[in-house]
Amino acid sequence: MGNTAVSRRPPVFGCRTDAYSRARLVADGSYTSRRQATPPTLPTLTKTSITPVSIAYAIASIIPRIFPTTAPPKEPLVLDLTQPPSHPLVAASILSADFGTMADECRDVLDKGADLLHIDVMDGHFVGNLTMGQDMIAGIRRHCPDACLDVHLMVERPEDYIGSFAKAGANVFSFHLEVCHDGGRTTRPTAESIAKQVRDSGMLAGMVINPPTRPDALGPLLDAGLLDLALVMSVNPGRSGQSFMPEVLEKTRWLRDRAPASTRVEMDGGVNLNTVDQAVAAGADVLVTASALFGSDDRRAVIEAMQNARR
């Protein structure tokens, strides 16, 4: 069930900057957009540089390219988030994983069908908790080269992390409206400018709103096609294991109606087997789950039940 939204596509090269290129994953553990792809360069020799040493160097550097000793990288796995999925996608939030065995925990939920890994970054200011950053993202990317990494930044200055998170291998970069100019902080950059920087870096741009925040400010960004994902918090951010807040369902419906079909609507907080139907009925098509998944004895059953929820 978990693989129905994942399709294998041949590598595509070029310089288009559509959302598919931003979500492209490379299975050797690196992440690049098509715009960033550069052809390999071979050493060049000029008349003045031809010496026995330079010839030996040139031969030594060319031979491994002609007779590679390692297997070529696997075909990239692509999770296309720009299309309405055939079933709700499950984003496993590693905040409730065992941090002592994080790599194995990530592999386990992916093998059991999770569609994305949700990584909660907290800076101790926007929320009181401190969690993980670029090194954790890079480590997970190395261990799970085929995973779609959905990063949720609960931080005061998300723009400071765009470059390093893109380099670490993040696919989706979601930041809070509440820290933007449009969210009421007049000395801050606008949500629009941050979203554009995120896309320019090769990631998908997501925006998050807290339970008390009205969704209106997202309207113009959605209309302009600047958001790949709108994330509705269904708990106050900061920790896992809290109770679902049904009062956010109304604005979820509003967002689903307003957003283009290419924009995903994600729900985060208190999503479990008792609340998943309400979330999906309101239009959520990406479901974040931490405690209900990692705390279960049957993780595969939890993932499949959520993927089977219907509007």
Residues of this chain that bind ligand DX5 (CB under 6 A): 93, 95-96, 118, 120, 152, 235, 237-242, 268-271, 288-292
Which residue of the set 120, 123, 150, 285 is catalytic? 120
What distance in Å separates the CA atoms of residue 39 and residue 154, rounded to the nearest whole number? 37
Catalytic status, residue 120? yes
CB of 290 vs Zn ion, minimal distance in Å? 8
Which residue of the set 123, 182, 268, 285 is catalytic? 268
CB of 188 vs Zn ion, minimal distance in Å? 21
CB of 72 vs Zn ion, minimal distance in Å? 36
Query: Residue 241 binds what, of ligand DX5, Zn ion, none (CB under 5 to 8 Å, by partner type)?
Result: ligand DX5
Query: Phi and psi of 161, rounded to 5°?
Result: -110, 0
78 vs 116, which CB is nearer to ligand DX5?
A: 116
228 vs 268, which CB is nearer to ligand DX5?
A: 268
CB of 211 vs ligand DX5, minimal distance in Å? 11
Q: Do residues 136 and 102 touch, judged by C-beta distance below 8 A? A: yes
Q: Do residues 29 and 140 touch, judged by C-beta distance below 8 A? A: no
31 vs 126, which CB is nearer to ligand DX5?
A: 126
Q: Do residues 225 and 262 touch, judged by C-beta distance below 8 A? A: yes
151 vs 217, which CB is nearer to ligand DX5?
A: 151
Burial class (CB in 10 A: 0-12, 13-18, 19+), 286: buried
- Which amino acids are annotated catalytic? 120, 268
